[in-house]
Structure 1
Amino acid sequence: MAQGPGRTTAQVVGVVALAVAVTAFLSVAAVRHGFFDLKVYYGALRFWAHDGGELYDFLKPGTQYGFTYPPFAALVMLPMAYLPWPAAIVVSVTASVVVSAVLIWWLLDPVARRAGWTRWFALAVALCLAAAFEPMRETVNFGQVNMLLLFLVGADLLRLLPRGSRWAGVGVGLATAIKLTPGIFVVYLLVTGRWRAALAATGTATGVTLLAAALFPDASREFWTAALWNTGRVGELAFVSNQSLRGVVARLDPEHPSTVAWLALVLATVAVWVWRSRSAAAAGDEATGLALTGAVMCLVSPVTWVHHLVWLLPALLLLVDNAMAAPARGGRRRVLLAAAAIGYAFLCSRIVWSWEKDFTGVDGFLGSNTYVWISLALLLLLPVRRWATPSAAGAAGGAAPAGSAVEAPGVAQLDQAERGPAAGQRDLVGGHLAVG
Structure 2
Amino acid sequence: MTVAQGARRTAVQVVGVVALAVAVAAFLSVAAVRHGFFDLKVYYGALDFWVHDHGEIYDYLKPGTQYGFTYPPFAALVMLPMAYLPWPAAITVSVAASVVVSTVLIWWLLDPVSRRAGWTRWFALAVALCLAAAYEPMRETVNFGQVNMLLLFLVAVDLLRLLPAGNRWAGVGIGLATAIKLTPGVFIVYLLVTRRWRAAFTSMAAATAATLAAAALFPDASREFWTSALWNTGRVGELAFVSNQSLRGVVARLNPEHPSTLAWLALVLATLAVWAWRCRAASAVGDQATGLALTGALMCLVSPVTWVHHLVWLIPGLILLVDNAVAAPARSLRRRALAGFAVIAYGLLCSRIVWAWEKDFSGVDGFLGSNTYVWISLALLVLLPIRRTAAPAGLPGPGRAGPTGSAVEPADVPELVEVERGTPAGERHRVGRPLSVG
Q: How does the TM-score come out when normalised to structure 1?
A: 0.92
Does residue 351 of the first structure (1) align with residue 353 of the second (2)?
A: yes
Residue type of the partner of 1:62? G
Partner residue of 1:408?
Answer: 406
> 376, 379, 387: which one pairs with 2:378?
376
> 237, 240, 253: which one pairs with 2:239?
237
Partner residue of 1:54?
Answer: 56
Query: How do residues 121-140 of structure 1 correspond to structure 2 at under 5 angstroms?
Result: 121-140=123-142
CA contact (8 A) 1:284 1:410 kept: no
Distance 1:222 1:408 in 2: 43
Residue type of the partner of 2:51? A
User: Quick check: 321-330 or 407-416, which moved more?
Assistant: 407-416
Distance 1:99 1:427 in 2: 33
**Displacement of 1:164:** 3.4
CA, structure 1 residues 61+422, in 2 after alignment: closer, same or farther (shift >3 Å)? closer
CA contact (8 A) 2:395 2:410 kept: no
**Displacement of 1:415:** 4.3
CA, structure 1 residues 411+175, in 2 after alignment: closer, same or farther (shift >3 Å)? farther
Could you give the per-residue CA deviations for residues 32-75 of structure 1, whole angstroms, max 9, x where no partner exists? 00000000000000000000000000000000000000000000
> 130, 145, 148: which one pairs with 2:147?
145
Could you give the per-residue CA deviations for residues 220-257 of structure 1, whole angstroms, max 9, x where no partner exists? 00000000000000000000000000000000000000
Distance 1:397 1:44 in 2: 55
Distance 1:248 1:79 in 2: 38
Residue type of the partner of 1:229? W
Query: How do residues 3-402 of structure 1 correspond to structure 2 at under 5 angstroms?
Result: 4-386=6-388, 388=389, 392-393=391-392, 396-397=393-394
CA contact (8 A) 1:184 1:293 kept: yes
Distance 2:339 2:132 in 1: 16
Q: Secondary structure at the match of 2:377?
A: helix
Q: Secondary structure at the match of 1:39?
A: helix
Residue type of the partner of 1:349? S
CA contact (8 A) 1:107 1:317 kept: yes
Q: Secondary structure at the match of 1:255?
A: coil
Could you give the per-residue CA deviations for residues 6-30 of structure 1, whole angstroms, max 9, x where no partner exists? 1100000000000000000000000
Distance 1:409 1:130 in 2: 23
**Displacement of 1:333:** 1.0
**Displacement of 1:156:** 1.0
Residue type of the partner of 1:426? H
Distance 2:377 2:192 in 1: 22
Could you give the per-residue CA deviations for residues 291-312 of structure 1, whole angstroms, max 9, x where no partner exists? 0000000000000000000000
CA, structure 1 residues 421+383, in 2 after alignment: closer, same or farther (shift >3 Å)? closer
Distance 1:82 1:242 in 2: 33
CA contact (8 A) 1:299 1:376 kept: yes
CA contact (8 A) 1:246 1:300 kept: yes
**Displacement of 1:421:** 12
Distance 1:246 1:323 in 2: 32
Distance 1:145 1:420 in 2: 35
CA contact (8 A) 1:107 1:411 kept: no
Give the number of aligned pairs: 418
Q: Secondary structure at the match of 1:32?
A: coil
Could you give the per-residue CA deviations for residues 325-347 of structure 1, whole angstroms, max 9, x where no partner exists? 11122121111111100000000
Residue type of the partner of 1:409? A
Distance 2:9 2:394 in 1: 38
Partner residue of 1:426?
Answer: 429
CA contact (8 A) 1:287 1:411 kept: no
Residue type of the partner of 2:28? L
CA, structure 1 residues 218+419, in 2 after alignment: closer, same or farther (shift >3 Å)? closer
Unaligned runs of 5+ in 1: 429-436
Pairwise CA RMSD: 2.0
Q: Secondary structure at the match of 2:12?
A: helix
Residue type of the partner of 2:83? A
Distance 1:325 1:190 in 2: 30
Residue type of the partner of 1:35? F
CA, structure 1 residues 411+236, in 2 after alignment: closer, same or farther (shift >3 Å)? farther
**Displacement of 1:419:** 6.6
Residue type of the partner of 1:211? A
Q: Secondary structure at the match of 1:347?
A: helix
Q: Secondary structure at the match of 2:27?
A: helix
CA, structure 1 residues 326+413, in 2 after alignment: closer, same or farther (shift >3 Å)? farther
CA contact (8 A) 2:178 2:185 kept: yes
CA contact (8 A) 2:140 2:308 kept: yes
Residue type of the partner of 1:241? S
CA contact (8 A) 1:286 1:409 kept: no
CA, structure 1 residues 258+419, in 2 after alignment: closer, same or farther (shift >3 Å)? closer
Distance 1:81 1:104 in 2: 31
